[in-house]
Amino acid sequence: MSDDRKQYAAACHCGTVRFHVRLTDEFNTIRRCTCSYCRMRGAIAASAALSDIEFEAGEDNLTLYQFNTGTAKHYFCKTCGIYTHHQRRSNPNQFGINVACIDGVSPFDFAAVEVMDGVSHPADSSAGPRIAGILRFEPAT
């Protein structure tokens, strides 16, 4: 079976951590989150299956941060501190990929980004995922 999805090159700020990734549904899965950690981090993430990330270099230079339930695994470059990806608590079979790490992509490329309610996390109730709001970017003219 062939995989026709585009493969993206990605890296941290200093270039020590480099990887290729195939997104689950291109950039249609972009989102932010309202949990205490994501609020402070501020990154936009796109979804990828765990098997769809391949490290070219620097995987050994990643550091791991976990908090609260310890389910989500947040990865950062030890050298420059940039968050590259995380294994999701809401779906441990997926990574959230920092779109700013993908070559040629900026968080400001997206006019509107769904913000998921991470304070009332879907894993903590039977209610399921809830959109808390929409983050908008409108370039100045």
Ordered per-residue pLDDT tens for the chain, 141 residues: 467 889 999 999 999 999 999 999 999 999 999 988 889 999 999 999 999 999 999 999 999 999 988 889 999 999 999 999 999 988 999 999 999 999 999 999 999 999 988 887 666 667 777 889 999 999 998
Element (H, E) at 81: none
What pLDDT score does 94 carry? 96
Element (H, E) at 18: strand 18-22
pTM: 0.90
What pLDDT score does 36 carry? 87
What pLDDT score does 20 carry? 98
What distances in angstroms separate CA 22 from CA 53, 96, 97, 105, 116, one per listed residue? 7, 12, 10, 14, 22
Q: Which residues pair with 24 in a beta bridge?
A: 26
DSSP 6: P
Q: Quickly tell me which residue has 């290729």 as its tokens.
A: 20
What pLDDT score does 3 carry? 76
Query: How many Å separate Cα 40 from the centre of its chain?
Result: 14
